[in-house]
Structure formats: structure tokens, C-alpha cells
């Protein structure tokens, strides 16, 4: 897509609210495990008046502010707040507002949207406290929670400590949520008091990412007689930054060679801007952009269209700004955001080269993910080093299985946090995989248009199921920008420094006569080899693999070859990349004089010889097929076997990525291991004669 899609919901979303006040939360009392008595809040406020003075702010302001943030407050609560207001100090106003919002959240669902406490009001050396006192028929429990730090950085950790009168049971636990919850069983993560990291009456929650909401920790006490758990204490943890802070920055190439797109995310729908220039002190060029968002109802089917802590959640707004009129191959400095919501840190990128340039250095991988992806962080660290220290900053190809969100909205926030350090320095070019797209119903919501005649691509011989768990690429469609040379993020092509890149969708119909197949034929026939001597094709699913235990994937691969291999060979494709190949040994091997092709879907690494119809071609006049589905998600463990052919040159079940450096006369391709940064495999390709 060249322009960001307009949001059908953008105009209806409220501006994020604000909660001000110090870092100590009020202590509330709760009878039993369910009823909270607001009058105790009033008593506490009256007790504090001697210390804090009197506020003259109009009473209506607090109640109106609560309504503006979407919380449901009962008439009785409004009256109590109104009567208490004249006796409240300025500092307590924010506390009362937060407490009533919490009560409304507990009983009705909607929660606070914004925390923007000034740094002076929440010094890091003062932990944030909160608590709920619980009384039962035969016992009295009082417990207080403390959060350290009181407000967290994006991606930071928080330690929750408890103290008070409570006999801790080994089955007690704490939960962490962010924003509205359905009930007390709806949470992001749960920690038992006996967990490994639970010590000294505390637990650590790691990785509190910016999700445009305040976090809440609840303490659940086990009642042995009733064999149930009840909430006995809670505490809210805010973010150090405003929810409107521009986040998730990532660059993308556009249809024009003298432009670069920047996409970012925030809770604000204000007009996005980018300012840029050739010096960090002279960001004199300014461009505005567009914003988009999506809702649960936009997804194809459950569970992705259901709202919960670990399902759909408000994604905020995705903003796109095109930085245009760039000089070729110059380093530009830039910021994104706006004056009202703030600006990002100054970043930089190298603009695309002139059309006649013949040099490029890029990164390629598939199957990264974040949750359940043990190596995603190490991939991000290694790639950042390659970009910053070794100059691999032309672009990055990520061909499918991007975040593995599969309906869990919070995963997208975590994923962008991981890649942002290098995605703001190089164009991050994505294509679709089964875990972003595959679905079985609700095709009318499919942004690719394939759902108009059904529910996606489901050949009888394939394993095309519901791997996106109902997302059907909706988040992908709104979160990424690509050149408008094909069908949005699904299939497209671009030129860069002598390389023509084609990103295909293995999840859409690619058989002869299909829209995608016809587009591919046309695109390949129009490649000017004097401008781009190299042609690289990517697809999520593999065409070739010798790894055992792949089952029906091998059948899909055979059909893929039947439909595409002759087309790729006859048009002199050099390299085919996918994510369905394995990996194995530790020895480095150097092969020279070959061309190759990439694909992905298998969580391993494997490289073929120059290959055509399952036979190695002497002289290197055939595509090389590489599977590099090794960027983070759990690796395959099956061995490789010559039963499937003797064309596999190098393979391994190892985490890593490709780095590619090309010139007019050669293309060097290396597979770099995450664990030590060593080159496991290396091949030098030469252009077709």
C-alpha cells in the first residue's frame, strides 16, 4: 500500500484521558471478597485534610474527567465524590479519581486510559503502594502492595512486594493486567508466590511494554476452607511516558526511489508528522501523514475477534508519513510524532541509491516471533550489530511468521519494541505467513480481497487451516507499509542497488491462472537485468527441503514446485528464500559461482545446490534455494535425509539469519549463527550468463 488506509473507527475513539497525582495509591477496604465500600474512601480523605489543605477546583471537573475516560461510575459514587471534593487537596484529587476509576473497572469493565504523572510527582526512590483490606466472618486480613519502580519504562520490569496481616498460602498468586478486564480471571500473566523469582515477599513481572494503558497487579489469597481464591489487594503501575508517545517506529521503502516511509504507533489520532534533514541539527523538511486503526469486529473469526487481556486489545493508531524528495544514498536524520504529543528520538537512515547503482547489503530471515520464541531477542541483537557496525542497512526481508500474535494483541506491542532499534535505521520489508493470514471463515474481512469468493486458499492437498486464529492479516495490513507494485503486503516487488526483490504470498493461490501467478509472470518478464542483475524471490513456504517429519508440508512443496519452478528457472531467478528448511552441523563451507533463491516455513536452515527439477545444475545456472526459518521461533529437531534428494549442500537446526552483500559481479550470502556470531555457511553467487 502506498498510502495508509483510513480508519473507520478513528473518528469515534476518545482522546486518552489523564490521571495526575503522586505515586502512592489509596488504601481501600473490602468486605469479604467482592464488595468495596466507597465511604471508607471519604473517611480517608477527611483524615488527610489537615495535611493537604483545601482545593477550590470545581466539583464537576473530577466527575466529568472520569466520564471522559470511559469509566462507568454509579450515581452514588458521583454524589460521594462531589460531596468529598471541597475537602480534598490538589494531590488527593488525582488519587480519588484513580480510585473511583478502579472501582468502576472492577464492577463494569472499562479502565483508565492514560497515566501521565509528572516526574517530580513520582520519584523513583519512593515505591508505589496500594492495598485492599479484606474482612471475613472468622478472620481479618489486611494486605498492602508496593510496586518498584512506581512507574515503568517501556519494556521494563516491576517488583511487587506485599506486607501486612496475612498468612501467605503456597497457592496464593498475583496477576498482572493492562487496561480493561472481563473479570478477575482475565490477566496477561500470573505469578505464584512460590515461583522461582518470588522471594522476600515479592515477585518480579518482566517486560511491561507500552500498551497505552496502566498496569494493575492483583493479589489472590487462597481460602482453604472454601477452596477458592479471592482478591485481597491491588495496585496500579503507570508508564513513565505518555500513551501518546510515538512508539513502534519502522521504516519501509515506497514506490518512489527518492522517498522513505516511517510508520509508528500511539494512542493519539492527531495528525502525524515527520521532520528530517541531512544534519541532526537541521531537520528542516516536514511532512504529514495518515492514520489507521482496527477493531475486534474487523477480524475474520474467533478467537481474534474476542476482547480480553490475551486476545484483542485496543491497538491505538498506526501512523504513516512519507519522507519525500530524498537525495540518493545520503544519510538522513529524522524524528516522528508532532508538537502536541511529542517527538521520537532522532534516528537516521541511508536513502535508496540511484537507479543505476549496483551495490546492496541486506538481512533476510523468517519465523521470528516474540512470545515462545527463545531466540528472537538474540536475533534482534545480532541484526542490530550488523546494521550499525557492518553496514547491512539497505533493507531487511522478513518473509512470514512475523510476531506470532495469532489473535493476542499484546504480542504486536512486544514485537515492535524488540525490532525498533534497527527497524528505525533500515527499511523493514515484510510478507505474509500462515500465522498472520490463514483462516476458515469470515472472508469478507480479509483485506487482501481473497475472501470475496470464499475463505482464502484451501487446496484439498494442503494444510491451509486457521493458523492466524482469526486475524486473517488484519493487523499486518494496518501495521506495515510496502510499495504499491502488487497487492499490498501480500505480493509486491521493488528494486534496490542492482537487486530486484519479489515477495510472494504462499498463503494465497499461486497456481497457474491465479491472480498472483499472473502478476508474477508479468513482473519477472519486465525485469531489466542491465539495471538489476540479481533477482531474489521470497515465499513463506518452502519449495525444497530434505528435513524429515514434515508430512503434508512436503506435498505442498511438490505442488509449489510444479506451479512455480519452471517460471523461476526460465526467468533466471538467482535466489529463492523461505522458512521451511532445517539446519545441522558446525563446519563452515564455501561454494562459489552459484545463484540462489530463498523461501521459509521450516524452523531450521538449509541451502541447496543450483537446482532444477531436483537435480544439481553444473555451472551454477539455476536458482539456489535457501530455507532460513530460524530467526527465533522454536527450532525443528528432525534430522535431514538424502531420501528426499542429494541436492542439500548445507543444513542445521540452528538459530540465525542471512546477511547478503551484492555487487554487479557477485552476491555473497552468509548464514550467521545467533549463539556466537560465526558464519556457519557461505556461498558466492554469480549472475546468469
HEC letters along 35-47: EECCHHHHHHHHH
Contact of 406 with 469, CB cutoff 8 Å: yes
Q: In whole angstroms, give the CA distance from residue 438 to residue 474.
A: 11
Element containing residue 682 per DSSP (H, E): strand 679-685
Q: In whole angstroms, give the CA distance from residue 652 to residue 603.
A: 10
Residue 651 lies in a domain: yes
Contact of 292 with 10, CB cutoff 8 Å: yes
* Single residue among 186, 215, 239 that ends a domain in this structure: 239
Q: Which residue has the cell 537541521?
A: 282
Cell of 496: 534496490
Residue 128 lies in a domain: yes
Q: In whole angstroms, give the CA distance from residue 441 to residue 670.
A: 41
What three-state secondary structure class fits 653? coil
One domain for residues 233 and 377: no
Which CATH number is 163's domain given? 2.60.40.10
Q: Is 489 left (phi over 0), alpha (psi -120 to 50) or beta?
A: alpha
What integer pLDDT is reported at residue 77 of this predicted model?
36
Residue 466 lies in a domain: yes
Which stretches of the chain score pLDDT less than 50? 1-126, 131-139, 581-601
Residue 309 lies in a domain: no
Q: In whole angstroms, give the CA distance from residue 566 to residue 511.
A: 12
Residue 663 makes CB contacts below 8 A (sequence gap 6+) with 358, 359, 498
Q: In whole angstroms, give the CA distance from residue 485 to residue 502.
A: 10
Contact of 597 with 577, CB cutoff 8 Å: yes
What integer pLDDT is reported at residue 549 of this predicted model?
74
Contact of 43 with 81, CB cutoff 8 Å: no
What integer pLDDT is reported at residue 101 of this predicted model?
32
What three-state secondary structure class fits 324? coil
What integer pLDDT is reported at residue 141 of this predicted model?
67
Partners of 652 in beta bridges: 584, 605
One domain for residues 233 and 368: no
Closest CA to 362 of 399, 328, 396: 396
N residues, the chain: 689
How many domains, the chain?
2
Q: Which residue has the cell 515477599?
A: 201
Cα of first residue to Cα of last residue in the chain, in angstroms, is 35
Contact of 561 with 655, CB cutoff 8 Å: no
What integer pLDDT is reported at residue 46 of this predicted model?
36
Cell of 581: 528448511
* DSSP codes, 128-177: EEEEEEEE-SS-EEEEEEEEESSEEPTTEEEEEEEEEE----TT-EEEEE
Strands 342-343 and 492-496: unpaired
Residue 443 lies in a domain: yes
Strands 260-266 and 317-323: antiparallel
Residue 104 lies in a domain: yes
Closest CA to 370 of 20, 593, 632: 632
* Single residue among 171, 206, 239 that ends a domain in this structure: 239
Query: CB-based burial of residue 35 (10 Å sphere; 0-12 exposed, 13-18 middle, 19+ buried)?
Result: exposed
Residue 404 makes CB contacts below 8 A (sequence gap 6+) with 369, 370, 371, 372, 373, 411, 435, 633
Residue 304 lies in a domain: no
Which CA distances in Å does 153 have to 71, 98, 422?
Answer: 25, 20, 19
Which CATH number is 546's domain given? 3.60.21.10
Q: In whole angstroms, give the CA distance from residue 376 to residue 631.
A: 6
Partners of 69 in beta bridges: none
Residue 431 makes CB contacts below 8 A (sequence gap 6+) with 397, 398, 399, 400, 489, 490, 491, 503, 504, 505, 538, 539, 540
* Single residue among 204, 239, 274 that ends a domain in this structure: 239
Range of the domain at 674: 356-685
Residue 319 lies in a domain: no
Phi, psi of 148 (to 5 degrees): -135, 120
What integer pLDDT is reported at residue 415 of this predicted model?
97
What integer pLDDT is reported at residue 608 of this predicted model?
96
What integer pLDDT is reported at residue 72 of this predicted model?
32
Amino acid at each position: 500500500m502506498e498510502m495508509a488506509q483510513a480508519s473507520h473507527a478513528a473518528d469515534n475513539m476518545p482522546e486518552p484521558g489523564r490521571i495526575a497525582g503522586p505515586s502512592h495509591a489509596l488504601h481501600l477496604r473490602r468486605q469479604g471478597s467482592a464488595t468495596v465500600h466507597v465511604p471508607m474512601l471519604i473517611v480517608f480523605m477527611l483524615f488527610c485534610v489537615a495535611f493537604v489543605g483545601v482545593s477550590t477546583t470545581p466539583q464537576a471537573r473530577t466527575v466529568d474527567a472520569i466520564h471522559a475516560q470511559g469509566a462507568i461510575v454509579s450515581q452514588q459514587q458521583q454524589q460521594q465524590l462531589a460531596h468529598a471534593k471541597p475537602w480534598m487537596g490538589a494531590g488527593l484529587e488525582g488519587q480519588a479519581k484513580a480510585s473511583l476509576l478502579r472501582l468502576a473497572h472492577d464492577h463494569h469493565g472499562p479502565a483508565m486510559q492514560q497515566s501521565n504523572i509528572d516526574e517530580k510527582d513520582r520519584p523513583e526512590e519512593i515505591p508505589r503502594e496500594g492495598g485492599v483490606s479484606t474482612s471475613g466472618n472468622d478472620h481479618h486480613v489486611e494486605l498492602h502492595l508496593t510496586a518498584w519502580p512506581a512507574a515503568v519504562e517501556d519494556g521494563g520490569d516491576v517488583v511487587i512486594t506485599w506486607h501486612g496481616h496475612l498468612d501467605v498460602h503456597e497457592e496464593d498468586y498475583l496477576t498482572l493486567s493492562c487496561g480493561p478486564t472481563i473479570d478477575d480471571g482475565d490477566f496477561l500473566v500470573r505469578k505464584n508466590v512460590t515461583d522461582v523469582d518470588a522471594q522476600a515477599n515479592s515477585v518480579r513481572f518482566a517486560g511491561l511494554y507500552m500498551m497505552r494503558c496502566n498496569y494493575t497487579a492483583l493479589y489472590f489469597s487462597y481460602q482453604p476452607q472454601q477452596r477458592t481464591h479471592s482478591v485481597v489487594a491491588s495496585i496500579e503501575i503507570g508508564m513513565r511516558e505518555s500513551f501518546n508517545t510515538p512508539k513502534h517506529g519502522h521504516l519501509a521503502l515506497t514506490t518512489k526511489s527518492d522517498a522513505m516511509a516511517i510508520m509508528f504507533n500511539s494512542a493519539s489520532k492527531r495528525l502525524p508528522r515527520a521532520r528530517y534533514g541531512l544534519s541532526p541539527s537541521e531537520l528542516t523538511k516536514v511532512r504529514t501523514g495518515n492514520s489507521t486503526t482496527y477493531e475486534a469486529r474487523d477480524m475474520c473469526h474467533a478467537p481474534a475477534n474476542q476482547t480480553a487481556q490475551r486476545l484483542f486489545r485496543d491497538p491505538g493508531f498506526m501512523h504513516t508519513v512519507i519522507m519525500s524528495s530524498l537525495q540518493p544514498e545520503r544519510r538522513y536524520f529524522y524524528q516522528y510524532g508532532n508538537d502536541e504529543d511529542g517527538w521520537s528520538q532522532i534516528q537516521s537512515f541511508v536513502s535508496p541509491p540511484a537507479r543505476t547503482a549496483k551495490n546492496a547489503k541486506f538481512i533476510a530471515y523468517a519465523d521470528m516471533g516474540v512470545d515462545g520464541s527463545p531466540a528472537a531477542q538474540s536475533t534482534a541483537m545480532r541484526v542490530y550489530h550488523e546494521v550499525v557496525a557492518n553496514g547491512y542497512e539497505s533493507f531487511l526481508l522478513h518473509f512470514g511468521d512475523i510476531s506470532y500474535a495469532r489473535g493476542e494483541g499484546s504480542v504486536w506491542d512486544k514485537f515492535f519494541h524488540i525490532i525498533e532499534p534497527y527497524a528505525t535505521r533500515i527499511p523493514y520489508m515484510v510478507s505474509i505467513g500462515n500465522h498472520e493470514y490463514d483462516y476458515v471463515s469470515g472472508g469478507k474481512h480479509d483485506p487482501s480481497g481473497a475472501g470475496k469468493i470464499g475463505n482464502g486458499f484451501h487446496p484439498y492437498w494442503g494444510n491451509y487451516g486457521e493458523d492466524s486464529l482469526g486475524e486473517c492479516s488484519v493487523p499486518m495490513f494496518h501495521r506495515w507499509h510496502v510499495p504499491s507494485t502488487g497487492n499490498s503486503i501480500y505480493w509486491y516487488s521493488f528494486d534496490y542497488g542492482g537487486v530486484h526483490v519479489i515477495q510472494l504470498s504462499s498463503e494465497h493461490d499461486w497456481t497457474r491462472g491465479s491472480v498472483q501467478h499472473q502478476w508474477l509472470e508479468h513482473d519477472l518478464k519486465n525485469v531489466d537485468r542491465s539495471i538489476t542483475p540479481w533477482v531474489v524471490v521470497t515465499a513463506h513456504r518452502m519449495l525444497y527441503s530434505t528435513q524429515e517429519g514434515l508430512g503434508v508440508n512436503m506435498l505442498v512443496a511438490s505442488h509449489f514446485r510444479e506451479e512455480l519452478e519452471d517460471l523461476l528457472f526460465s526467468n533466471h531467478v538467482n535466489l529463492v528464500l523461505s522458512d521451511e528448511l532445517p539446519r545441522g552441523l558446525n563446519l563452515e563451507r564455501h561454494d562459489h559461482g552459484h545463484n540462489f533463491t530463498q523461501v521459509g516455513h521450516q524452523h531450521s536452515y538449509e541451502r541447496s545446490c543450483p537446482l532444477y527439477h531436483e537435480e544439481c545444475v553444473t555451472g551454477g545456472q539455476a536458482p539456489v534455494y535457501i530455507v532460513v526459518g530460524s530467526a527465533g521461533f522454536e527450532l525443528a529437531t528432525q534430522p535431514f535425509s538424502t531420501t528426499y534428494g542429494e541436492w542439500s549442500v548445507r543444513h542445521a537446526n540452528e538459530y540465525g539469519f542471512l546477511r547478503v552483500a551484492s555487487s554487479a559481479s557477485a552476491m555473497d550470502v552468509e548464514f550467521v549463527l545467533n549463539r556466537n556470531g560465526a558464519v556457519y555457511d557461505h556461498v558466492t553467487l554469480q549472475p546468469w550468463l
